[in-house]
Structure 1
Amino acid sequence: MDRKLKDYLKQIIIPTYRNYDKGHDEAHVLKVIANSMEIAEDYNVNREMVYVIAAFHDLGMPFGRKNHHLSSAILAYYDHVLNEYFTPEQLLIIKEAIEDHRASNTTEPRSLYGKIIAEADRDLDVDTILYRTWQYGLTHDPQLDEKEQYTRCYNHLVEKYGEGGYLKLYLETEKNKAGLDALRSLLKDPAALKDRFETVVKQNKK
């Protein structure tokens, strides 16, 4: 990757995530970048575009979670530095890939780049998902007590990750398939799920 472009992303763009909630913070974007680059190794794609898409994919969170995929795409498309490095056609692919990454989207990503970022953003590690779901509840529904927080988390997990849930895997990497299978198995055992959830919460309260 071009040194100037990489420095811009690492020094200006990625540190912005430090101000975001713990489900979309710097650790998250770095993980999505790493996932994206790993997945990209199996495909004939522009690595710089993959890296940029991952770096910008949640940048628009301050403008609202509901449409963050759209605001993030706009920030990338009109970014003055990216416009120095990529053609209009490449910028459009970057923009559309970011728009298409959100798990709740009902349509398939329009390009392979969109499928890569969608797959990379899933990060289907059971404990990570439980932690992010819990953190989201604390941030957005702080009035709920512990029992209500758990109920909210459980309902969200079933709606998103359960059999027939809205989350889709378009490239079906072995890592994500295994993670989703593990989470679905846990959802079928409410007692084990609650124990795992409480363990994750306890560990992260330290």
Structure 2
Amino acid sequence: MINKELKNYIEENILPLYYNLDDAHTIDHARDVIEKSIKLSSFFNNIDENLVYAIAAYHDVGLASGDRKNHHIESEIFVRNDDKLKTFFSDEEINIIAVGCREHRTSSKETPSSVYSCIVSDADGTDPIEIMIERSYHYAHKNYTCEILKNDNKIYEDIYDHLLNKYGKNGYCRYHLKESYTLFNKKEIEDILDNEESFKTIYNEVISIK
């Protein structure tokens, strides 16, 4: 059971921070990671849902610093500097939350130090293919030059290559927990990415409504 005062604090003061982030890291994304993290945590005994909830809620707040490359580190710093959060957790628990934020990135080569880090990392790396495409498309339109944005084929190729390299059968995005393979249908994503024609059909459907 999540502490009501903690939930109220995060709902009122932390989740609204996502309104100021990019279109690939909206408050809907934060809520989705929270929901998936809580569901995944139910597979384990002696898991503190308050810790899971806090890590999931704070995991991307470091993006507000403007340093996307190091946002996981900025999220860790944010947690350690949040004095209000310290009224809900012990120093040891604050460390678990802070490190969980740092270790959430699927591209990280760092081995997660706790099951809490694994839970949020796996939940964060799980989306329907349509959402993956949409988030990648938003990223491209925010970061690409005007000249590149005129080239629809270039954008498509970059997005497909990125998702294939990250979420394909040989991609670097791997679940840390075997339970994640039970809860999240990664094979479906892999099969779509393995068949470019199937991927392209979905891509065109997603982009057509932009």
Per the shorter chain, which TM-score range? over 0.9
SS in 1 for 2:61: coil
For 1:59 and 1:91, how far apart are their aligned partners in 2? 16
Q: Distance in 2 between matches of 1:191 and 1:107?
A: 34
Change in 2 beyond 3 A, CA 1:111/1:19: same
Distance 1:133 1:168 in 2: 19
Percent identical among aligned pairs is 30
Shift of 1:133: 1.3
Aligned residue in 2 for 1:41: 42
Relative to the length of structure 2, the TM-score reads: 0.91
1:9 is displaced (CA, Å) by 0.2
Aligned to 1:188: 194
Q: Could you report, residue by residue, the CA deviation over 1:75-107 in whole angstroms, capped at 9, with x for unpaired residues?
A: 012201111111111111111111110010113
| Structure-2 residue corresponding to 1:77 | 80
Q: How does 1:1-206 map to 2 (within 5 A)?
A: 1-43=2-44, 44-63=46-65, 64-143=67-146, 144=148, 145-172=151-178, 173=180, 174-176=182-184, 178=185, 180-203=186-209, 205=210
Runs of 4+ in 1 over 3 A off after TM superposition: none
- Answer whether contact 2:129 2:189 (CA < 8 A) is retained: yes
| Partner AA of 2:142 in structure 1 | T
Query: CA offsets per residue over residues 7-32 of structure 1, 9 Å max, x none?
Result: 11001100110111111110000101
Distance in 1 separating the partners of 2:43 and 2:198 = 36
Counterpart Cα distance in 2 of 1:89 and 1:16: 25
Residue 142 of structure 1: how far off its partner (Å)? 4.4
Structure 1 residue ranges without an equivalent (≥5): none
What SS does the aligned partner of 2:83 have? coil
RMSD: 1.3
Number of matched residues? 202
Structure-1-length-normalised TM-score? 0.93
C-alpha distance in 2 between matches for 1:39 and 1:129: 20
